[in-house]
Amino acid sequence: MQESAKESNYYRQMSDLTNYNPSQREAVTFGEGPLLVLAGPGSGKTFTITQRILYLIHEKQIPPQKLLVITFTREAAVSMRQRFLQISPQHTTVNFGTFHSCFYQILLRSGRVSPGNILNEKQKKELIYPVLKKIKAHNALSATDLPELAKNLLTAIGYYKNTGDLQSSMDRLPEEWKNDFAQVYSGYEEARKRIRGLDFDDMLKECEELLQKDEALLAYWQILFSYILIDEFQDINYRQYCIVRLLAQKHKNVFAVGDDDQAIYGFRGAKPACMKQFVQEFGAKQIILSTNYRSHQDIVEASLAGVGVIAENSDRFPKNLEPCEANRRHLGKMDKKNYHVRIREFSGAKEQLQFLMRQLKDRTEGETYGILFRTNLAMQSVAASLTREGIPFSIKEHGKNIYDHFVVQDILAYLRIAQGTAARADYLRVVNKPFRNISREAFGGEVSLQALEHYYANLMRQTGAGYLRSAYDAVRLLRRQMEFVKNTDLKLAVWFVRKACGYENYLQQRQRMEQTEEWMEILDFITEEAGQYKTLREWQEAQEIYREQLQKENEHHPKKGREENADCQIRLLTVHASKGLEFDHVWIPDCNEKTFPHGNVQDTEHLEEERRIFYVAMTRAKKNLELLCLTGTAERPRFPSRFLIPLNRYRR
């Protein structure tokens, strides 16, 4: 097709090589064959990919329909396509898609699947529910817990299908379900095959087997997709890599862009080792995009090799990154107080939260602020405080409301019992937290502590059984405790439930078994939160306001388009959700052991991924980065993250 003079001039402008730095220029104008582009944070990888597409079409005269551009999320595929069409609006036949959407098209056009065969999340849960109920007695599975359990098991099943790693798949499950995983998997697969359904993970397996068996079909797709460009290559799993290897084995034109230092999706089965396998098997050349256009020099140095965090990882591609000229220091060596990276220490979560509130109240118009968390739940306490303070914010991902957490619900159940407004479920929830030897059978008629006391008194008279004495005494003590709780202020009431009623000891024992610090942090939060309100009713009304706030966030930012809120000044999100984003100012709370790295680190592979997660969080910052950690108290000491050790010069 002949280009008009206007189009030709347009392309000459867009392909002006002076717009690129040397490494970008080398990548964009690379010739035939395999190439691995190692793109560090803020290095302009999306710009490089879109310009590479333009170069292939305009300079190399490659038909647009022969280009396959693969991303890992639908949102990323849409964004990449939109950015490309802004610079080349007439080339609509370039193939942009996710791995699943691309491989689905191969299966669909071969007649191996139909749209009705693909199972959505609701359908998958409907298949697995009967399996779970068959394995465990129905009454042992709470109706509220069943959806979350099903979600966890389906995630483990998907991980197993992608990796074949049975042990790692089981490690993602609650302890009581690990031994049942094989039975759950078998039951789910039988149910799926019975209705001839396929989930997303099955599509990869089916596609690989189809291309391996049908040489003519493989040749067709190899010709059609003679140039393959892959974004976020570090997130590829082994099955995806094998399919790419099949499609590319004829022409070997694979343009893979990624950063092994930002490989943070191991829990989904991602294998950054595939990057090295690609280099070895394809003989791929490597180009490093070495300029960080995002971050100030202090942030770049703090995060990088040699003196920074990621240097501690051994299994990585060596790369030296540097800030662009605009982000360099121009006044020589800066003194400590002027660093753009700071480590701040707080005795506890209360002080840390108060600091964040002060900082966010004093925000500058037009600047962006990101608070990044290791877990979704940790984010909720800050969100609740922002709601109470009337500070507008945005949450990127749907998550559990902190007030729905079992720790909060336990405390609220105690308070409702004290106020005489408790339902039967409240009593059943907490009467044995801690264990008081109170049986469910005791709640037969009227539900109250007085009725419970009468029940055990009558039973002792009738049976004379001495073992009932402990339950009777426990109920009497609980009645006296609840009388005190009823007649005191809300914060003291919560504190009394924690200490005098034994709830904190119960939680600590359970926490040690689960190996988490999070529950005690929630208990601390709920204690301080209670102090903001005069009555339980007022507090519960505030919780409903927060619930409505979250609901509005979810309605305003549905899953398909949450990035539309990118202009919001303050954003709360997990580190995983922050990938690909940037903010003028970034805070990372809870930079402590068991948070960064999360849980108890068992092996080097896990530790290195946790360090990469921390690195990704650090590199979202453009102007300022603050790392917040808790020192704890004598009663409950906390230990700063080992990831802060190379950064001691930034302590304030």
Residue pair 616/625 in contact (Cβ under 8 Å)? The answer is: no
* Cα gap 520→506, rounded to integer Å: 11
Mean pLDDT over 354-361 rounds to 93
CB atoms within 10 A of CB 356: 20
Q: What is the pLDDT of residue 159?
A: 87
Mean pLDDT comparison of 317-331, 483-497, 591-605, 623-637, highest-scoring range: 483-497
In the predicted structure, residue 198 carries a pLDDT above the cut 80: yes
b/e for 222-257, b at 16 or more Cβ within 10 A?
beebbbbbbbbbbbbbbbbbbbbbbbbeebbbbbbb
Residue pair 234/242 in contact (Cβ under 8 Å)? The answer is: no
Q: What is the pLDDT of residue 164?
A: 80
Q: What is the pLDDT of residue 459?
A: 86
Token couple for 37: 């582009």
DSSP letters for 623-635: EEEEEEEE-B-SS
Proportion of the chain above pLDDT 90, given as a percent: 47
Residue pair 618/588 in contact (Cβ under 8 Å)? The answer is: yes
324: nearest Cα among 273, 282, 371, 289: 289
User: Per-residue confidence at 234, pLDDT binned at 50, 70, 90?
Assistant: very high
Altogether, the residues listed in the chain come to a count of 652
Rg (CA), the chain: 28
3-state secondary structure of 41: coil
Residue 597 DSSP symbol: T
Q: What is the pLDDT of residue 5?
A: 46
**pTM summary value:** 0.80
CB atoms within 10 A of CB 436: 16
Q: What is the pLDDT of residue 113?
A: 80
In the predicted structure, residue 562 carries a pLDDT above the cut 60: no
Q: What is the pLDDT of residue 470?
A: 87
Report the half-sphere exposure of 423 (CA within 13 A, side-chain side): 4
In the predicted structure, residue 397 carries a pLDDT above the cut 70: no
Whether a cis peptide bond, with omega within 30° of 0, leads into 34 is: no
In the predicted structure, residue 561 carries a pLDDT above the cut 80: no
Q: What is the pLDDT of residue 567?
A: 54
User: Per-residue confidence at 350, pLDDT binned at 50, 70, 90?
Assistant: confident
In the predicted structure, residue 48 carries a pLDDT above the cut 90: yes
Q: What is the pLDDT of residue 521?
A: 78
Question: Phi/psi of residue 352, each to 5°?
Answer: -60, -45
In the predicted structure, residue 138 carries a pLDDT above the cut 50: no
- Residues 10-42 pLDDT 10s: 445 444 555 688 999 999 999 999 999 999 999
| Higher-confidence position of 135 and 141 | 135
| Higher-confidence position of 65 and 137 | 65
Residue pair 290/22 in contact (Cβ under 8 Å)? The answer is: no
Mean pLDDT over 459-487 rounds to 87
Mean pLDDT over 89-95 rounds to 90
Residue pair 222/211 in contact (Cβ under 8 Å)? The answer is: no
Q: What is the pLDDT of residue 267?
A: 81
* Cα gap 578→580, rounded to integer Å: 6
Question: Worst-scoring range by mean pLDDT, 21-25, 132-136, 171-175, 593-597?
Answer: 171-175
Q: For residues 141, 143, 147 and 148, what is the CA-based torsion angle, rounded to 10 degrees?
A: -70
In the predicted structure, residue 515 carries a pLDDT above the cut 70: no
Report the half-sphere exposure of 36 (CA within 13 A, side-chain side): 21
Mean pLDDT over 330-347 rounds to 74
Q: What is the pLDDT of residue 23?
A: 93
Q: What is the pLDDT of residue 1?
A: 41
Question: Phi/psi of residue 444, each to 5°?
Answer: -90, -50
- Residues 266-284 pLDDT 10s: 888 888 999 999 999 999 9
Proportion of the chain above pLDDT 70, given as a percent: 89
3-state secondary structure of 62: coil
Residue pair 84/94 in contact (Cβ under 8 Å)? The answer is: yes
Mean pLDDT over 300-320 rounds to 82
- Residues 57-66 pLDDT 10s: 999 999 999 9
User: Per-residue confidence at 178, pLDDT binned at 50, 70, 90?
Assistant: confident
User: Per-residue confidence at 373, pLDDT binned at 50, 70, 90?
Assistant: very high
> Mean pLDDT across the chain, nearest whole number?
86
- Residues 409-458 pLDDT 10s: 999 999 999 999 999 899 999 999 999 988 888 887 788 899 998 988 88
User: Per-residue confidence at 560, pLDDT binned at 50, 70, 90?
Assistant: very low
Token couple for 74: 């639908």
